[in-house]
Structure 1
Amino acid sequence: MSAQPVRQPHADRHAGWLELFFDLVFVAFAAQLSHSLHGDPGPRDFAVFLALYFPPWWMWINLTVSANLFEDDSPRRRLLMLSAMFCLAAMAAAVPEADGDAGRAAVYALGYAGTRLVLLGLWWPATRLPAALRVPRWRPLSYCLVSALLWAASAAVPLPWRYAVWAVLLTAEMVLLLTARGHGITGRLHTGHLVERVGLFVIIVLGESVIALVTSTDHAWTAQAGAVATLGFVLLAALWWSYFDFGSTSAELMLGSAEGSRAYLLARDVSGFLHFFVTAAVISMAAGLATAVEEAGHAHLPRGAVWALAGGLALYHLAHACIAVRFGRPLRAVAVWAVPGIAVPLLVVLGAGTLAPWLVVLLLAAEAVGHLLYARTLARRRSR
């Protein structure tokens, strides 16, 4: 059965069972990446984390958009998505030491190449749609097939040149995407479905943070560890509350009110690019929280752990500030909550050598709760 164009944006549509099953592989990805920042990570560890996280995120958003545009539950599509899930699972398994082990790096590259071939299979039926919706054949051939072949060939490139090749290939993919202006089928996104899918991904990374809090108590079953874990849970609960009451709701309203290519461009920038930093920040915080629980009895946290935790929260607020500006919010209004949201965690980083683990998490939790209370107060004023 060939893919069909999506329903009109007002139609009620939610994530399917296949999409939810597919997302489970990113639970493993989040755990692997978070573990890479455990303890006292340095600048190189953070760079490797971002470099290894972007390709699977990029593929997830590409596959999510294809599912958004084409309502197709045929066995063909199911097999393609399950194949992508297997490829991503192989990439997740290769994450540990992928920056130094040639064999793991090769598996990572070949796994990503496989996902590009899956994407080609998903998009190819769109080249046979009516003229108004048809995708030119050169786009999936260059964006998917050529990219897949080059990624597979990169497995034979020696380290560290292989990583330079990956960077060039990812840049080329983004350039191809940026040249698509949202005409034809790419201008028919179902925005509600897309917002829901991105929100479910945020739930995955928040869930990894909760898992990190729970499992870290295995190594530190003390009253201090329990207090730090409790404060960490308050921090995550406040982030969840503010994201789904305000961030996600605002995104659905803004994207839903946009039309044609503007809706596509907003969705591309907010969901595709800026939410990479939102989710990366939460994964980083998961690692920092786990370390804080395990180090609860120490005088202070390692500086790298404070950067993972407090720096992650600062990045989280910065990404949301950029999203608000991209939606057209006045810069002055955004700065009211963004400046303290970024400044407080960075001040915590400055005190990393003197602050006890419980105090670090307490200050960050207080900032997150204060941010939530401010947003709720502002919402009540606007409603009146």
Structure 2
Amino acid sequence: MRARSRDEAHRASTPLELFFDLCFVVAVAQAGRQLVHALAEGHPGHGIIGYLMLFFAIWWAWVNFTWFASAYDTDDTLYRVVTLIQISGVLILAAGVPRAFDNGDFAVVWFGYLVMRLALISQCLRAAHGSEGAERRSSLLYAAGVSVCQVGWLALLFVPVGALPWVFVVMAPLELSVAAVTAQARQATWHPHHIAERYGLFTIIVLGETLAAATVAVQSALDENDELGTLLPIAGGGLLLAFAAYWIYFAVPIHLHLRSSRQAFAWGYGHYLVYGSAAAIGAGIEVAVEQAFGKAHLSTFAASACVTVPAALFMFTVWLIHSRHQKRGPAQQLVLPVSSVLILACTFAGEGAVLAAGLVASVTVAVGVTLTARQGTALQE
């Protein structure tokens, strides 16, 4: 297994990578469903903390595979078999999400991670065997770091439930540091265009799960109530938010920004908030639907915040780590930050909050398109 060239032409996602991404839909759906239940029952603290912890586990498993594959994907028989083992670990993790969320029992989640990690470590050792010098040391260092972190996560199985967030606070930064430290050991071999495409595809996966969750919520409400007047503003606003999120994310060619490991890691790590907030929008729409029909134990304001807060966070984070690198002038730079504030303000719009947020997001897209067109005209002149 040799590192692939950073300048390889026509580098694109493989069917195996797409299959790997698809299997994460199950895990993302499980985390979102548990968040909905916690918020609808009036337990936002438990729901948000549990969601942040479990979504990190899901996202980080995807990140580990994605960056390694960008550097070393040989797509031979052994590589495919080991990747399928990693997929099995993802599905085990997904099966353990409800138990971890409800009871603080992370045994199944940890075992799923163990399956994925053993497969990843074997890939790293194979890469080390086929290389020498700094590349070999880097692969061995990464395998060692991943192994130590997996042992560290054992604390989740032995500490009291109340101490679980503290384990996360300690271990999550250690996980992030392993890849960052390893990247300093040698020149990176990941492919900028490939990484940008992989992250973009997973953005579509998460937004698709948001739309699916919202559709199920609306369908369930229609089965029990025949009040389209109540449902349509929520469904319409949610649809506009998802469409706007897609448009805004893919409005810039981000691979042009990913020139160094420092830039790429800051951008890649920031996607924890991008993906987490995008998936939470779908959960928020479900909560808003349940609240509208009296099935959720929270106020209209709180239900609206379940949609507007993650939507505003998505807008701001996409600007911070993604879009601002391609924006020119204060007008373009201010569009998304101002939009995030306005979407937050929609929380006070009562029963029309979700629709108002969707309309603000739509106007944001229109303003961005207009400013970009004007800039292109000015450059031509």
**Shorter-normalised TM range:** 0.7 to 0.9
Q: Is the 8 A contact 2:13 2:198 kept in 1?
A: yes
The amino acid of 2:266's aligned partner reads D
User: Which residue of the partner structure matches residue 372 of structure 1?
Assistant: 365
User: Which residue of the partner structure matches residue 172 of structure 2?
Assistant: 170
> For the structure 1 residues 192 and 52, does the alpha-carbon distance in structure 2 shift closer, same or farther, using more than 3 Å as the test?
same
Q: Is the 8 A contact 1:285 1:312 kept in 2?
A: yes
The structure richer in helix per residue is: 2
Provide the secondary structure at the position in 2 that maps to 1:340: helix
Q: Is the 8 A contact 1:41 1:304 kept in 2?
A: no
Is residue 2:78 matched to residue 1:66?
no
* Match of residue 36, structure 1, among 21, 34, 37: 34
Distance 1:344 1:168 in 2: 35
Distance 2:33 2:323 in 1: 33
Corresponding residue pairs, total: 364
Is residue 2:98 matched to residue 1:101?
no
Offset, 1:280: 0.7
Provide the secondary structure at the position in 1 that maps to 2:221: coil
Q: How does 1:1-384 map to 2 (within 5 A)?
A: 3-38=1-36, 39=40, 40-101=42-103, 104-128=105-129, 129-131=131-133, 133-136=135-138, 138-152=140-154, 154-182=156-184, 184-185=186-187, 187-221=188-222, 222-224=227-229, 225-244=231-250, 246-247=251-252, 249=253, 251-255=254-258, 258=259, 262=260, 264-271=261-268, 273-296=269-292, 302-324=300-322, 327=325, 332=330, 336-349=334-347, 351=348, 355-356=350-351, 359-384=352-377
Distance 2:24 2:214 in 1: 18
The amino acid of 1:291's aligned partner reads V
Structure 1: tracts of 5 or more residues without a match: none
Distance 2:8 2:74 in 1: 19
User: TM-score, normalising length from structure 2?
Assistant: 0.86
CA deviation digits over 1:142-174, x for unaligned, max 9? 312222233346434443445433432322222
Deviates more, 1:89-98 or 1:218-227: 218-227
Deviates more, 1:76-85 or 1:11-20: 76-85
The amino acid of 1:266's aligned partner reads Q
CA deviation digits over 1:177-212, x for unaligned, max 9? 333444535x22211111111111111111111112
> For the structure 1 residues 283 and 66, does the alpha-carbon distance in structure 2 shift closer, same or farther, using more than 3 Å as the test?
same
Offset, 1:175: 2.4
Provide the secondary structure at the position in 1 that maps to 2:98: coil
The amino acid of 1:7's aligned partner reads S
Offset, 1:311: 0.2
Structure 2: tracts of 5 or more residues without a match: none
> For the structure 1 residues 125 and 241, does the alpha-carbon distance in structure 2 shift closer, same or farther, using more than 3 Å as the test?
same
User: TM-score, normalising length from structure 1?
Assistant: 0.86
Distance 2:367 2:59 in 1: 31
Offset, 1:215: 1.0
- Between the two proteins, what is the percent identity of the paired residues? 26
